[in-house]
Amino acid sequence: MNSAHQKLWFLLPAIVAVLAPSPAAAQETDQGYPATGPISGYMDFHFNKADGENGVLDFHRFVLILNHGFSPRLRFVGELELEHAFVEGLEEGGELELEQAYIDFLLSRAMNVRAGMLLMPVGIINERHEPPVFNGVERPFVDTVIVPSTWFDVGAGVHGELGAGWRYRAYVVAPLNALEFTAEEGIRGGRQKGSEANVRNVAYTARVEYRGIRALTLGASMWAGEGSFVAPRLDTGVTVGEFDARFRRNRLELRWQFAQVEIADAVRLNDVLSRTSGVSPNIARTLRGFYSEAAYRLWNAGPPRDLVAFARYENFDTQFRMPEGLVPLKQFDRDAWVTGVTYYPDPDIAVKADYVYLRNRSGLFPNRHLVNLGLGWWF
């Protein structure tokens, strides 16, 4: 039995303990269970227009969320997502993804067990990415190219609240495939998405949040795992560290996030990929991004008189530190100003408009101006 399997086996006693009826569970009424539904979900479609290019109208996401309660303490949640409205062979037209499908074993406030297809608990957006909960038509760049949201994979772990405002999640999950990393999008292509995921190695991810002060949320996340299972002689450890803060009081909301990815032995990873493709992939050893956002509720009378204006600055570089012998591609050292408005005719419906000025440090590639319109809803 290899080490990864040994690591998975340690979860078995915990699962058995969960399934055994506890005295507290025996006291809890099962009235209303089993229960299925109702179906919920979220959807959004966008109009995107970059300078010098034709506008694009895209039904970006159609997501259905299914749930079933076997009992008050055994619950299933699943999330099935269709991206870009249409799926054809080799994902040329869109993607059909099983983003979440897990069973929660609700034990106590301090510890619950979750297993199945899980969202990685990294950053502000990855676990809460529905259109009405963030400003801007598209998700922040940092939450796309540094934290590869929507980041999900198969695994199991625990979550709970420890009291005094502290809560946590910690999972053992399938690792990334480092051979799919790229210079432009970093680790994004390495997500195995629970599709016959190779678990010769496993990864660990955890998040701690502090909510002990009204209006303030502080979070710290990590993800660590070996990502080189396809090439045995590689030792490509990947570590993601992230910190974030949210503050919301009256009309004002502030958000801040910092994320950094470290790729160990990036020299050999580049070497192996160069040998197999004939082209150097120029994968960095460090990727870094951060953003700050301020939003102000201009119209605060409650729906349908609910209007938010925001501005966000993002800085993200997928070539932040290069392995020895490689030169960073400066077009991937980028920053962006995003400013716009979100109008809520209902708390679950967001009508969005924004303008993006996307810059890069290369003298060869022009900066971009984008105008985006979006309509998203959640129920």
Partner 1 sequence: MSARALFAAIVLLLLVSAPGAAPTQGQTPRVVEITAERFEFWPSEITVAEGEAVELRIRSDDTMHGFRIVGAGTNVLVPKRGKGYAVARFTGSRPGRYTFECNRMCGAGHNFMRGVLVVGAAGADAP
Which residues contact residue 61 at a Cβ distance below 8 angstroms, ignoring those fewer than 6 apart?
A: 42, 43, 44, 81, 82, 83
Counting beta carbons within 10 angstroms of the beta carbon of residue 205, is it exposed (0 to 12), middle (13 to 18) or buried (19 or more)?
buried
Half-sphere exposure of 221 (CA within 13 A, CB side): 25
Stretch that binds partner 1, among 124-132, 200-208, 261-269, 358-366 (CB under 8 A): 124-132
Nearest to 1 by CA among 176, 199, 194, 195: 199
Q: Which of 128, 249, 251, 369 binds partner 1 (CB under 8 A)?
A: 128
List the Cα angle 292/293/296 in 5-degree steps: 155
Instruction: Please return the burial class of 325, using the count of CB atoms within 10 Å of its CB with bins 0-12, 13-18 and 19+.
Output: exposed
What does the DSSP 8-state code read for residue 331?
G
Q: Which one of 47-55, 84-92, 108-116, 138-146 is the stretch in contact with partner 1 (CB under 8 A)?
A: 108-116
> Any contact of residue 182 with partner 1 (CB under 8 A)?
no
Q: Does 16 bind partner 1 (CB under 8 A)?
A: no
Report the nearest approach of partner 1 to the CB of residue 26 (Å): 9
Q: Does 161 bind partner 1 (CB under 8 A)?
A: yes
Compare residues 78 and 189 and give the one whose CB is closer to partner 1.
78
Cβ–Cβ contacts within 10 Å for residue 251, how many?
A: 12
Please, which of residues 86-105 interact with partner 1 by CB under 8 A? 100, 104
153 binds partner 1 (CB under 8 A): no
Gyration radius from the chain CA atoms: 22
Residue 348 in the binding site for partner 1 (CB under 8 A):
yes
> Binder to partner 1 among 6, 85, 86, 108 (CB under 8 A)?
108
Total residues in contact with partner 1, by rule CB under 8 A = 42
DSSP-derived secondary structure letter, 215? T
- Contacts with 296 (C-beta within 8 Å, 6 or more apart), sequence order: 251, 252, 253, 308, 309, 310
The nearest distance, CB 374 to partner 1, in angstroms, is 18
Q: How far is the CB of 75 from partner 1 (least distance, A)?
A: 6
Q: For the CB of residue 110, give the shortest distance to partner 1 in the complex, in Å.
A: 10
- Is 65 a binder of partner 1 (CB under 8 A)? yes
Tell me the C-alpha distance between 114 and 18, whole Å: 10
CA dihedral of 89, 64, 111, 26, whole degrees rounded to 10: -120
Q: Any idea how long the chain is?
A: 379
Is there binding between residue 72 and partner 1 (CB under 8 A)? Answer: yes
**Residue 67 binds partner 1 (CB under 8 A):** yes
Among the listed ranges 12-20, 27-35, 285-293, 327-335, the one in contact with partner 1 (CB under 8 A) is 27-35
Q: Which of 34, 55, 347, 366 touches partner 1 (CB under 8 A)?
A: 347
Q: Which stretch binds partner 1 (CB under 8 A): 33-41, 90-98, 318-326, 333-341?
A: 33-41
Stretch that binds partner 1, among 193-201, 257-265, 307-315, 340-348 (CB under 8 A): 340-348
Nearest distance from residue 379's CB to partner 1, in Å? 8
The DSSP symbol for 22 reads P
User: Taking CB under 8 A as the rule, does residue 27 contact partner 1?
Assistant: yes
Kindly identify the residues of this chain, within the stretch 275-314, that bind partner 1 according to CB under 8 A.
301-303, 306
Q: Does 24 bind partner 1 (CB under 8 A)?
A: yes
Q: Which residue has the tokens 């929507």?
A: 150
Distance CA 300, CA 344 (A): 10
Residue 159 near partner 1 by CB under 8 A: yes
Least Cα distance to 119 among 134, 133, 139, 99 occurs for 99
DSSP string, 126-166: TT---GGGSSSSSPPSIIIIIS-SS-EEEEEEEEEEEETTE
Using CB under 8 A as the binding rule, whether residue 253 contacts partner 1 is answered as no
Query: Using CB under 8 A as the criterion, which residues of the chain lie in contact with partner 1 when the complex forms?
Result: 24, 27-29, 37-38, 40, 42, 65, 67, 72, 75, 77, 79, 100, 104, 106, 108-109, 112, 119, 127-128, 130, 132-133, 159, 161, 163-165, 211, 214, 301-303, 306, 346-348, 378-379
